[in-house]
Chains A and B, each alone.
Chain A
Amino acid sequence: MRLIIRRGGFFLATLWAALTLNFFLPRLMPGSPADRIIAHLHGAVDQSTVRAIEQSLGIGNTQGIWQQYLTYLGHTATGNLGYSYSQGEPVSQVIAGALPWTLGLVGITTILAFALGTAIGAVAAWRRGSRFDSVMPPLFVFTTAIPFFWVGMVLILIFSVYLGWFPSSGNVGQLTVPSLSPGYLGDVLDHAILPSLTLLVTGIGGWVLTMRNNMVTTLTEDYVRMARAKGLSPTRVMVDYGARNAILPNLTGFAMSLGFVVSGAILVEYVFNYQGVGYYLLNAVGYDDYPLMQGLFLIITVAVLVAILLSDIATALLDPRTRTAG
């Protein structure tokens, strides 16, 4: 329990750091962000929009900087993330529309990559010396070095252009109406397969390699030998005594890898025009839509923090030593 409180405190601190970055970054950059936005709109804006923009950036000429800062924090806490002029709607609405797509694609694919990668790594370590083990690790070292976007483009080339099996862009067909019908869901799936495959191919390698290395070391431990001595079945030894211990460093590593996952997600959404959070972020950059950029940055940070919290909980569940360490 105390662990959760400490972690919670850390997360709040990180959130605060992200917000502060968000606040001060525009002010540190040359030029006034508001001016740039106005330039984008070719000056064709009315006062209220300008004020809304300034407010969402926390800029108000009438207040001192600390006052602006507090106002900004206050606004964020109440969910007022400002107005996105490039999308023509409040930032929070843009986020609400894009988030589910990203969570679905990235969330599911990451979990899949973790699960599959860990399993393959465990089996490779168990069967050391076999052909499986001599082929897999070099193969996956290779896949960890390939850039996401390139894989995406290659897959588009193969599956979309040559074979015409899957669409190359969008998260859903242009003319379909959102519903829970099989037709719609099927279309969603159709559009999600290539991006998902891209993320899977590039992401899985890391898990395989670290799990394999952890497992190899774990298998030399005395308690594994002891398990064999007790006459337990090979599967049980591999899973209960080997994998359950080898996976623990992987879980902590999960938190570290999230940065990688996020970057991959953004690039993949870009390549496939998949309208999730990453896509809108890059879009916002093109339009100098700072409120939207900041709002998206914030939501990405929150998502990462939640994921870390979940992996911490999973570690506490699997490793009794962390529970007593508090």
Chain B
Amino acid sequence: MAHALADDQPGVTSPPQPGPLLEIRDLCVEYVLESGIVGAVDKVSFDLNPGEFLAIVGESGCGKSTLLFGIAQLLNPPAEITGGSVTFRGRNLVQLSDKDLAAVRWKDMSVVMQSAMNALNPVKSVGAQFRDAMRAHGVTSQEEIGQRSAEVLRMVGIDPEHLKSYPHQLSGGMRQRSMIAMAMLFTPELIIMDEPTSALDVVAQRSLMAQIKDLQQEFGFAVIFVTHDMSLVSHYSNRLMVMYAGQTSESGPTRKIFDSPHHPYTVGLTEAFPSIRGPRRTLTGIPGNPPDLARPPSGCRFAARCPKVMPRCTDDAPAQYPVEDTLVRCFLYDNAGGVP
């Protein structure tokens, strides 16, 4: 039923290809301001395979949301992509025209935003917003629209009665889930989520995460999940990418990074979270502030706050060095064959 809706337009939907679903290469996003240029995302690269759950974590201002919107081609001025490529199923999204992009949007890649209260149009009913999305992609039969809308709402545990409701009439948790339902309308291959749980209380957070994971396992879509809360994604993501000051500082399988973090920043992050079951220990924070991205330092960006800083760190910028399955941007792991 789900894929029956994804009407085949030439060249857009095709049978699953081998190889990565999404390839990001050297993506750069900058904010062009009157007072100067701020580099929010600096040459980020990674691959995403079908069905993978990738979590991107970092503190506020590290560029993770900007990265997300850069991938989805949803940047607002003055932010713009100034370099690199975003290749989705073999096509570079950065170079696509608006029309071609529109065909990809929602059908193959959808977005879930942080605050549903802000992300849903306050003057239209939930059902009307579902309808908009479907009609934009060629689904015109009222019956089909109604059926599918009800179906996705049931998937997330909401009574289809609420299609008639306006966003302000729903509770926070329901709003968030209806956003996820909307993202599922065409069962896309990739759903991008920008801190969808931040606006919820802890209990609702867990239940939403569990729901997302269930849906993912049932329908097999890939997920890129941005959050500042590492512990939230520790159970659910296959891969983890830690960002700092616009760059990837460490990336690899989630479990490996949690069990043995390598980059001093990641170490600092994991030591900042208490463990309920583990032994009691003193929590340490990471003193200092992230660098000013309008004039980024020429060496390693974490050098000013790093407990293991070496003289080399302030002069040269480290590349990403492989350590088993993870990539770490730190001179401590410098061996021949690093990836910039």
Whether the complex brings A and B within 8 Å at their CB atoms is answered: yes
Contact A227 B118 (CB under 8 A): no
A226-B111, A228-B74, A232-B132 known; A245+B169 contact, CB < 8 A:
no
Q: Which of B62-119 contact A (CB under 8 A)?
A: 69, 72, 74, 76-77, 98, 101-107, 110-111, 113-115, 118-119
B283 within 8 A of A: no
Contact B110 A229 (CB under 8 A): yes
Contact A233 B136 (CB under 8 A): yes
- State A28–B333 Cα separation when bound (angstroms): 92
B299 within 8 A of A: no
Contact B121 A231 (CB under 8 A): no
A186 within 8 A of B: no
A229-B110, A231-B102 known; A223+B132 contact, CB < 8 A:
no
Task: Name the distance in Å between A53's Cβ and chain B's nearest Cβ.
Answer: 54
B213 within 8 A of A: no
Q: How large is the interface on B (under 10, 10 to 19, 20 to 34, 35 or more residues)?
A: 20 to 34
A318 within 8 A of B: yes
User: Among the interface residues A220, A221, A225, A230, which one has the most CB atoms of the partner chain B within 10 A?
Assistant: A230
Contact A245 B123 (CB under 8 A): yes
A127 within 8 A of B: no
B166 within 8 A of A: yes
Within 8 Å by CB of B121, from A219, A240, A318, A324, lies A240
Residues 229-250 of chain A: 1 if any B CB is under 8 Å from the residue's CB, otherwise 0? 1111110100011001100100
B19 within 8 A of A: no
A234-B98, A320-B166, A321-B166 known; A229+B111 contact, CB < 8 A:
yes
A222-B119, A227-B121 known; A232+B111 contact, CB < 8 A:
no
A231-B103, A231-B137, A234-B98 known; A324+B132 contact, CB < 8 A:
no
Least CB separation from B75: chain A residue: A225
Contact B103 A320 (CB under 8 A): no
B133 within 8 A of A: yes
Task: Name the distance in Å between A5's Cβ and chain B's nearest Cβ.
Answer: 23
- State A231–B124 Cα separation when bound (angstroms): 17
Within 8 Å by CB of A230, from B103, B114, B132, B169, lies B132
Within 8 Å by CB of A223, from B77, B106, B120, B166, lies B120
Which DSSP category, helix, strand, loop or mixed, fits chain A's interface? helix
Contact B122 A231 (CB under 8 A): no
- State A179–B106 Cα separation when bound (angstroms): 60
Task: Name the distance in Å between B213's Cβ and chain A's nearest Cβ.
Answer: 22
Contact B120 A226 (CB under 8 A): yes
Contact B132 A245 (CB under 8 A): no
B3 within 8 A of A: no
User: CB-CB < 8 A to B235: which residues of A?
Assistant: none
B312 within 8 A of A: no
A319 within 8 A of B: yes
User: CB-CB < 8 A to B168: which residues of A?
Assistant: 320-321, 324
Task: Name the distance in Å between B330's Cβ and chain A's nearest Cβ.
Answer: 35
A318-B123, A320-B166 known; A230+B118 contact, CB < 8 A:
no
User: CB-CB < 8 A to B136: which residues of A?
Assistant: 230-233, 236
User: CB-CB < 8 A to A226: which residues of B?
Assistant: 111, 113, 119-121
User: CB-CB < 8 A to A129: which residues of B?
Assistant: 77
Residues 95-123 of chain A: 1 if any B CB is under 8 Å from the residue's CB, otherwise 0? 00000000000000000000000000000
User: CB-CB < 8 A to B98: which residues of A?
Assistant: 234
- State A318–B123 Cα separation when bound (angstroms): 7
A229-B106, A318-B123 known; A324+B74 contact, CB < 8 A:
no
User: CB-CB < 8 A to B105: which residues of A?
Assistant: 228-231
User: CB-CB < 8 A to A244: which residues of B?
Assistant: 121, 123-124
Residues 145-168 of chain B: 1 if any A CB is under 8 Å from the residue's CB, otherwise 0? 000000000000000000000101
Task: Name the distance in Å between B313's Cβ and chain A's nearest Cβ.
Answer: 38
- State A225–B105 Cα separation when bound (angstroms): 12
Task: Name the distance in Å between B269's Cβ and chain A's nearest Cβ.
Answer: 27
User: CB-CB < 8 A to A228: which residues of B?
Assistant: 74, 105
Contact B74 A240 (CB under 8 A): no
- State A32–B111 Cα separation when bound (angstroms): 75
Task: Name the distance in Å between B15's Cβ and chain A's nearest Cβ.
Answer: 22
5 contacts between A and B (CB under 8 A): A222-B119, A228-B105, A231-B101, A234-B98, A320-B166
Which residues of A are in contact with B by a Cβ distance under 8 Å?
A: 128-129, 219-223, 225-234, 236, 240-241, 244-245, 248, 318-321, 324
20 new A-B contacts, CB < 8 A, other than A226-B113, A230-B106, A320-B166, are A129-B77, A222-B119, A226-B119, A228-B105, A229-B74, A229-B106, A231-B103, A231-B136, A232-B133, A232-B136, A234-B98, A240-B124, A244-B121, A244-B123, A245-B123, A248-B123, A318-B123, A319-B123, A320-B123, A320-B125
In order of increasing CB-CB distance, the 4 nearest A-B pairs are: A231-B105, A231-B102, A222-B118, A229-B111
